[in-house]
Amino acid sequence: MFIFEVRRMDLGQNADKSALYRWLRVDKDTLKVTPLTFVSMNSSGIFDERFFKQGYLSFDSQKAVFIAESSSVQHILDINWPDDLPDFLEVAVHSFLTKLRKEAQIEPPSEE
């Protein structure tokens, strides 16, 4: 699996963390993108933690561990930066985020 932390650039630093960031889980085999439901975050300076309804993520600059709530299985993940992502992952995440943005747009009322 892949876990993405995506930061919105149109909100200020003081915005609520759940609005400022989105976390996405991508299945490695199917490339299905599933949003993670944010609960809280913590940073100790040595490692960072993210708590979701679907599990727990802990990471430092080298490695990450995701523990799924449903199975308690530990998934060891590598840390990658956007410039290092394979094209197929970038396309899957971009498509998902584009779909979210379109769904969030409210159509103007029709003038009937």
What are the pLDDT digits (tens) for 68-108?
Answer: 998 888 999 988 887 888 888 888 988 988 888 787 774 55
What residues does 56 pair with on adjacent strands? 51, 67
| Residue 23 identity | W
Share of the chain above pLDDT 70, in %: 94
Could you give phi then psi for residue 21, rounded to 5 degrees?
A: -120, 155
What residues does 35 pair with on adjacent strands? 24
Share of the chain above pLDDT 90, in %: 41
**51-64: pLDDT as tens digits:** 999 999 999 988 99
pTM of structure? 0.79
